[in-house]
Structure 1
Amino acid sequence: MQFTPQTIVELADELGLGVDDLEPYGRGKARLSLDLLNRPANGTGRLVLVTAINPTPAGEGKTTVCISLAMGLRRLGRSAVLALREPSLGPVFGSKGGGTGGGRASLTPADDINLHFTGDIHAITTAHNLLSALVDNAIFFREEIPGRGVIDPGQVTWGRALDINDRALRRSIVGIGPKTDDLSRQEHFDITAASEIMAIVALASGLEDLEDRLSRIVVGRTHAGQAVTAGDLRASGAMTVVLRDALRPNLVQTEEGGPAIVHCGPFGNIAHGCNSVVATRLAMKLGDYAITEAGFGFDLGGEKFLDIKCRLAGIWPRAVVIVATLRALKMHGGAPVAICGEPDTTTLIKGLEHLEHHLATASAFGLTPIVAINLFPNDTESELLLVEEAVAARGVRFARTDGFARGGEGSLDLARVVSEVVDLTDVAPPQPRFIYNESDSPHDKIRKIATVVYGASDVAFTPAAELDIARIAEPGLLESPHLHSQNSPLPHLRPQNCRSPP
């Protein structure tokens, strides 16, 4: 069976989309309209989460497995839509390389997606640094925050952002000059993917919700120790204008012509590390299977996907695919990276304890786990069978996948297992089972995550941690009194159907 990439218009037509539903960026990519969120679904939208054991230098291949799984489902005649994270330029030019899959399980146009794409990350960088500039202006002009005083330069917590790995800028000094010497201070740059604004865009349900969330960003404190927000600086409206187009997800395709929505959130170890809420919701509306990925390992990216994103978006996966490789399992069993590709039953058996912990965590969320064994050319049959026997002994389904080398054909077995497991949930879909309740105290939330997901016996809070928790819980920080003020330039830009979640 031969598949080839389509034009973006042909791809949109396959999804039941018209010319008014997207804004093409050349032949291979387009932005999707947020209005699609309010239309009847084209598919049944069964959500499948792909996560992995903890990352190692040996590699696991979550994105490659995601793409090849969607390819495999498509080869089986199933309607599958990917919802993936957007690559960050810093890692692309660093040791990690691109974020569009690998081998024959890749997205296209890969170069565009890995570089400037449709400008989302550039817009987030600009919005972040716009707020940084307004903070410095407020300090320079000693702007009075009503009832709280002026910003203390020594308590500014909002830095700057750049989507390049520039180590020299991690710590710097700003405000040097004849008129600002007395206001100079230490500053820091984060890579844009680590910006709080990246997390906010990924969680926002629409423009109103985006502006609301931006207004609550804490940028620092006054000399009296009281918090100052972006809303206090009347910055959230302008920032939302900058981010207006970046909130709209991007449509591309796999190399076998299947649809993929790529948007936001490349870092799983920072914030929630997922693609956007709107991208996942659209994938669920447009296909029978929505395949998405959580960053880092299941204990970090997977937990945040479930406890934060799913809770907020009102969605829940039908199954979770946990990706593992023999190489990575051996590293978790103590093998050095230089020799983890060599046969070593001892470290492999020890590394299986790591996989078993993730399987238990999936059960704690009430989810059915499926183990995807991502193949490497030098894997031995005896060691593959050893892993399969260990997984089967726990009553867990599994499948080998060779998508890197063979594309969708290499993931047909995985696609069959996933479809079988997911289809069986149609009668009684799994209900959300979170690790903590929203009403829990910050201490209890942290303790539950640490003990259930990470295997800790208990948690000890340092004085610095206690101070941070107390500041997070300050009255008023979770409210948005500055939203929709007369200073907001947004009313004429907002679609009427955008509403904040309850």
Structure 2
Amino acid sequence: MTTDIQIARTARKLPIVDIAARLGLGEGDILRYGADKAKIAHHALNGLTDRPRGHLVLVTAINPTPAGEGKTTTTVGLGDALNRIGKRTTICIREASLGPNFGMKGGAAGGGHAQIVPMEEMNLHFTGDFHAITAAHNLLAAMIDNHIYWGNDLDIDTRRITWRRVMDMNDRALRDIVVGLGGVSNGFSRQTGFDITVASEVMAILCLAHDLDDLHARLGRIVVAYTRDRRPVTARDLRADGAMTVLLRDALQPNLVQTLENNPALVHGGPFANIAHGCNSVIATDTALRLSDYVVTEAGFGADLGAEKFLDIKCRLAGLAPAAAVLVATVRALKMNGGVAREDLGTENVAAVVRGCANLGRHLENLRGFGLPVTVALNHFLGDSAAEIAAVQDYCARHGSTAILCQHWARGGAGAEELARRVVDMVEGGGADFRTLYPDSMSLWQKIETICTRIYRAAHVEALSGVRAQLDLWEEGGHGHLPVCIAKTQYSFSTDPDLRGAPEGHVIPVREVRLNAGAGFVVAICGEIMTMPGLPRHPAAETIGLNDMGQIEGLF
């Protein structure tokens, strides 16, 4: 069977200026990074603000399993299919992180004949956005320690420095470290640690900023530490916000690439959905909406994490209102949710599919709670039996939805035309009545409880020592209106990654909360989730290298 990378390498790409022209952009509106990728320049972005927005379609999925769901593949296939039926459509997705690429996840550009190219560059350094974010974040960290070394005029309490360092790689050894060892010339010793770049507040800020001025203002609001009398110290207090903005100036410009069918795609930003808000940048989505009739975007992992954050954080803060949602599922993943082991997925098991549909049904119910019309995209695998496919379609019909069999992996946009027509019907039917899950006025703790009980179906939420008091202090400081970002395992509605299906009545333990004052949300870290992942026993990096032709092997 032909692999994803083999298909990508045979792509007939158009010059990136031709892709820009499809969006009405001239050669002077883009900054080319070679022949097949570019950034949309700031002056071109500024000229779009008065244009009306097109229709926004969200692609999300059931909880991820080792069997695979194909959410990005479906996003790309749907975008290509909408273009095929005459709807001027742009695709918006996130950039890939090096950490999971060299760990266990692999590439993140779609698959089969529904891919975005250049696939290899997108999954590696691309246009350098993540490096710029890492540099800006760590510049601020260096300026904190430097300020303390030279007299600490701001009276920072070194026990209450909240700003950690970051790098875009999985490395468990850096979760908790001590810096400043080696004597007086190296500063003051203190305990700290690293997070992965995609969990950085700078990443979140870049993805939520509307323009350079907004980026600068948000960076200045970052709270990095507290004084002995508990007053917050910000990046602006350290006078770091200007230099950070300079480092991020080019990174804020969205990246323009293309699908295998030469349709435009904006790939920009990359916060994780299990430990951050999991959406591509606001500036990319808004740009696409002003240049297209339809925009197809995705939210990370399952709908419980990705879609909830997309709707309650990104859409709330950016003033976006999706017109429809697509929920991706596979027969294989539903069988795993129904209790089938991975090695047995090739055997027909209709009963397990029906049991696994409980996970699908939970996500359908949750998405409808946001006032969105939803259809199910059943991403086809060759081993799916007719009886298993029919079981999913029957389940969806009984629950007021439609499951459309999609073959975009094998056939590209042609394999998702039925899904595209269904999406157009939902959008043009005007059935959306979008609403967020909770109001701004609700307390921070009530927001956490609302997400955990209504989306995750927890019986109650357990706050570990100090959590409630910290939330109260932030509310007193004027941050009570912020939305909440839950950091939790993506594999289950619970905090137990092995508990599949649609569990309810469990307890969600909140062990820590973090204030992202610049990004504009509060993070609640639940269960055993880590903001610096580790590598698996046999990371993908062990099998990645170059072949005799100088081509990358093992990454995809």
Q: TM-score, normalised by structure 2?
A: 0.81
Amino acid at match of 1:400: L
Offset at 1:317? 0.9
**Residues 216-365 of structure 1 aligned to structure 2 (within 5 Å):** 216-365=221-370
2:118 corresponds to 1:113: no
Report the 3-state secondary structure (helix = DSSP H, G, I; strand = E; otherwise coil) of the residue aligned with 1:155: strand
2:433 corresponds to 1:424: no
Q: CA deviation digits over 1:319-376, x for unaligned, max 9?
A: 1000011111122222223323432223221111111111111111110011000111
Q: 2:354, 2:395 within 8 Å by CA — same for their partners in 1?
A: no
Q: CA deviation digits over 1:162-208, x for unaligned, max 9?
A: 11222322222211122157721222111111111101110001111
RMSD over aligned Cα, in angstroms? 2.2
Amino acid at match of 1:124: I
Moved more, 291-300 or 219-228: 219-228
In 2, the alpha carbon distance for the partners of 1:221 and 1:41 equals: 41
Considering Cα pairs closer than 8 Å and 6+ residues apart, tell me whether 1 or 2 has the greater RCO.
1
Q: TM-score, normalised by structure 1?
A: 0.90
In 2, the alpha carbon distance for the partners of 1:403 and 1:41 equals: 35
Aligned length: 473
Q: 1:127, 1:242 within 8 Å by CA — same for their partners in 2?
A: yes
Q: 2:118, 2:257 within 8 Å by CA — same for their partners in 1?
A: yes
Amino acid at match of 1:473: E
**Residues 18-417 of structure 1 aligned to structure 2 (within 5 Å):** 18-34=26-42, 35-39=44-48, 45-145=54-154, 150-179=155-184, 183-417=188-422
Q: Percent identity, aligned pairs only?
A: 49
Distance change >3 Å, CA 385–CA 192, structure 1 → 2: same
- Structure 2 residue runs without a partner (length 5+): 1-10, 482-518, 521-556
Q: 2:48, 2:287 within 8 Å by CA — same for their partners in 1?
A: no
Report the 3-state secondary structure (helix = DSSP H, G, I; strand = E; otherwise coil) of the residue aligned with 1:439: coil
In 1, the alpha carbon distance for the partners of 2:399 and 2:208 equals: 35
Alignment partner for residue 17 of structure 2, among 2, 9, 14? 9
Alignment partner for residue 454 of structure 2, among 452, 458, 462? 452
Report the 3-state secondary structure (helix = DSSP H, G, I; strand = E; otherwise coil) of the residue aligned with 1:290: strand
Q: 1:43, 1:287 within 8 Å by CA — same for their partners in 2?
A: no
In 2, the alpha carbon distance for the partners of 1:422 and 1:22 equals: 31
In 1, the alpha carbon distance for the partners of 2:412 and 2:295 equals: 18
In 2, the alpha carbon distance for the partners of 1:131 and 1:220 equals: 11
- Structure 1 residue runs without a partner (length 5+): 480-499
In 1, the alpha carbon distance for the partners of 2:188 and 2:152 equals: 14
Offset at 1:437? 0.3
In 1, the alpha carbon distance for the partners of 2:257 and 2:30 equals: 12
Query: Paired residue for 1:484?
Result: none
In 2, the alpha carbon distance for the partners of 1:38 and 1:458 equals: 48
Q: 1:42, 1:285 within 8 Å by CA — same for their partners in 2?
A: yes
Amino acid at match of 2:37: K
Moved more, 346-355 or 46-55: 346-355
Q: 2:33, 2:39 within 8 Å by CA — same for their partners in 1?
A: yes
Report the 3-state secondary structure (helix = DSSP H, G, I; strand = E; otherwise coil) of the residue aligned with 2:265: strand
Alignment partner for residue 464 of structure 1, among 463, 466, 473? 466
Offset at 1:417? 1.4
In 1, the alpha carbon distance for the partners of 2:441 and 2:434 equals: 16
Offset at 1:232? 1.6
Distance change >3 Å, CA 178–CA 40, structure 1 → 2: closer
Query: Paired residue for 1:489?
Result: none
2:442 corresponds to 1:437: no
